Amino acid sequence: MSNESIGSAESDRASRIGWDDYADDYHREHGAFLGVESPDGAFIWSPEKLDEADARLLGDVAGRTVLEIGCGSAPCTRWLRNHGAKAVGLDISAAMLRRGLSVGPLPLVQASAERLPFRDASFDIACSAFGGIPFVADSAGTMREVARVLKPGGRWVFSVNHPMRWIFPDNPGPEGLVAEYSYFNRTPYVERDANGDAVYVEHHRTIGDRVRDLVAAGFRLVDLIEPEWPEDLTEEWGQWSPLRGKIFPGTAIFVSEKVS
């Protein structure tokens, strides 16, 4: 792991280029799992297949204004709209958004999570299923931006890689069970292309960082969900596997509310 620091502009650029490039493969690998092609949509929070239809972390969405951040091809936004929400999806990658529009019309916006192009207090609920939050350089600023566009009392729920996964190699097998990296090293993980340009950047934050960022932005933490690996789930997703899922969590879902 290097010691380089990557700012907001370079992180956003890397995400835009990287996710545009990865969009087809991502959907080949995970599209069916996520219910992308379903005209009803689906809201899957994580590789443990936690389904919003069962978990209800967002509460009653019917009639509520909802912003989904890092929506990708937007199966969650579609699901929300089919459940009566006035939902809008936002993502930095045009290729990911185009995949969503190929299934059917949806209100989608191309922008970064760090600068939300909406007025103050526009939404009742904001949500993100592994979208954007692990990839932004300014996590604290992003939390403030989400707080800005939410109404007082609004709910903000987001899933990310469980911070403790950072200490292990990115490997679903037995090699991925041996701790190798410091939990306290916030140096981002970066992949570069042949020209040396960053094309994938992931920013680690500890559990404490995430709670601090939320509280500083004016949120109250309501719950922290660590989904357990279901007995009958055999499908691996990158470093998420039944082997590792039996022993330690792969996902953290922060459930918070903007203090009124």
List interacting residues with ligand SAM (CB under 6 A): 12, 15, 19, 34, 70-72, 91-93, 96, 112-114, 129-132, 135-136
Q: At its nearest, how many Å lie between ligand SAM and the CB of residue 44?
A: 6
Cβ proximity to ligand SAM: between 30 and 151 the closer is 30
Beta strands 86-91 and 123-129: pairing type? unpaired
**Closest CB to ligand SAM among 114 and 220?**
114
CB of 182 to ligand SAM, least distance (A): 24
* Sequence letter at residue 98: R
Q: What is the CA radius of gyration of the chain?
A: 17
Q: What's the min distance (Å) between Cβ of 149 and ligand SAM?
A: 14
C-beta of 123 vs 135, nearer to ligand SAM: 135
We find the least distance from the C-beta atom of residue 148 to ligand SAM, in angstroms, to be 15
Give the burial string for 109-125 (b: 16+ CB within 10 Å, else e).
eeebbbebebeeebbbb
Q: How far is the CB of 256 from ligand SAM (least distance, A)?
A: 18
Closer Cβ to ligand SAM, 8 or 206, answer by number: 8
Residue 131 or residue 188: which is nearer to ligand SAM going by CB? 131
Closest CB to ligand SAM: residue number: 72
Task: CB nearer to ligand SAM: give 146 or 214.
Answer: 146
- Cβ(9)–Cβ(115) under 8 Å? no
Contact by Cβ (8 Å): 129, 44:
yes
Q: Is 5 or 182 the residue whose CB approaches ligand SAM more closely?
A: 5
Q: Tell me how far, at minimum, the Cβ of 31 lies from ligand SAM, in Å.
A: 9
Closest CA to 233 of 242, 223, 224, 225: 242
Nearest approach in angstroms of CB 23 to ligand SAM is: 8
